Structure 1
Amino acid sequence: MEKNQPHSHALRRGRVSLPRQAYLITTCTHQRLPLLNSWSPARCVVREMQSLENDGWVSSLSYVIMPDHLHWLFMLDQAQLDAVVKRLKGRSARAINAYLNRRGSVWQQGYHDRALRREEDVRSIARYIVANPLRAGLVNDIGKYPLWDAMWL
C-alpha cells in the first residue's frame, strides 16, 4: 500500500456494481505528480473514457481532468465498476507513459467511488465536477479550461 493512500483498502468495502447506476469516481496520479497538466497526456485519459463508452461499458455524463487527478461521473452499463476503472487506468497509463517517454506508475492504487442516490440531482453534481478548475484557481472562466465535458452541453 502506498504512503499517499493509507486507507485505499477501506475504499473497497461495500463497493457494488449496479447496471444503470450513476457513479462518481475520483482517482489520483501516482504521488500526486502533475502528469496530466498538459493537453496530450490528459487526452490519453479522455480517449480511454471514450473507448469505454463506445464499447458499451459506461455512458459518460461529466468529467474534469485536473493536473494530478480525475473526476468522472458516468452511468454503468455492461461492466463491473472495478473493471471499468482498471481498464481506464491501465490503458491510459500505457499511453501516457509512451507519450511522455517514461516508465513507472501513472495512477495511485485504488480510487474513490460514490454511487449516486436516485433523488440526487446529477446535473448539479456535474456542475460541481466541472467547476473544479475554478475552485483550484487554475482559471477564472471555465470556458478557458479545455479538459472537461458534460453531456448537457
Structure 2
Amino acid sequence: MRTCHEIALRRGRYSASGQLYHITTCTHERRPLFANATCARLVIGHMRNLHDDRRLSSLAWVLMPDHLHWLFALGEGATLSGVVKRFKGRSAAGLRPATGPGPVWQRGFHDHALRHDEDVQAIARYIVANPLRAGLVGRVGDYPWWDAVWL
C-alpha cells in the first residue's frame, strides 16, 4: 500500500534523457549501514555499474552513513524511476549478507530535475559538503565516500 507521502513524491516526476537530476534516498529506518566501509564500497560499485552501463552519467555524489545524494544526467532510453529501482534492488541484494533480511532502503526517493539556470557546480559542492555540515569531518577531503567530475 502506498502512503500519501510516496504518492506525492511521484507526482510530477518525469524522465528525460540527458536531464540532470539530484536524487536523495535513505536507508530503511535511517540505519547507518554505510559507516561500514565494506557496505559503502559495495553501494558505490553499483553506482559505478549504472554509469558504466550508460544508464546515467554520474556528476557528483556523497554516500552518507544513512543516505545518498547523487547528481547525474539520465542516459538515453533510461527512466529515472527505473534507474533508481535498479540501483536500490541490486545494491540491496548485494548488501543482504551484511544487513540480514528485511528492507535496506526506504521506499521512494526524492528527486529534483535541475533547471537550465541552476548552477550545477554549486549543487555538486552542496552535495559533497554534506559530511562537513553533518560534523562527520573537518574537511571535505577527509570523508572517503564522495566524488565529483570536476576534480
Give the TM-score band, short-chain normalised. over 0.9
How much has 1:19 moved relative to structure 2?
A: 0.7
Alignment of 1:48 onto 2:52? no
Whole-angstrom distance in 2 between the partners of 1:135 and 1:126 = 14
Partner of 2:83: 84
Amino acid at match of 2:93: R
TM-score (norm 1): 0.94
Whole-angstrom distance in 2 between the partners of 1:117 and 1:39 = 35
Superposition pairs of residues 51-62 of structure 1, within 5 angstroms: 51-62=49-60
Aligned length: 150
SS of alignment partner, residue 44 of structure 2: helix
Identity score, percent:
58
How much has 1:43 moved relative to structure 2?
A: 1.2
Partner of 2:18: 20
1:119 aligned to 73, 95, 117, which one? 117
1:10 aligned to 8, 32, 40, which one? 8
Superposition pairs of residues 23-38 of structure 1, within 5 angstroms: 23-38=21-36
Whole-angstrom distance in 1 between the partners of 2:99 and 2:118 = 42
TM-score (norm 2): 0.95
Amino acid at match of 2:143: Y
Contact 1:9 1:110 in 2 (8 A): no
Contact 1:23 1:113 in 2 (8 A): yes
Aligned-pair Cα RMSD in Å: 1.4
Say if 1:101 and 1:85 are closer, same or farther in 2 by CA, change over 3 A: closer
Q: Could you report, residue by residue, the CA deviation over 1:30-61 in whole angstroms, capped at 9, with x for unpaired residues?
A: 01111111211011111111100111100000
**Long gaps (5+) in structure 1:** none
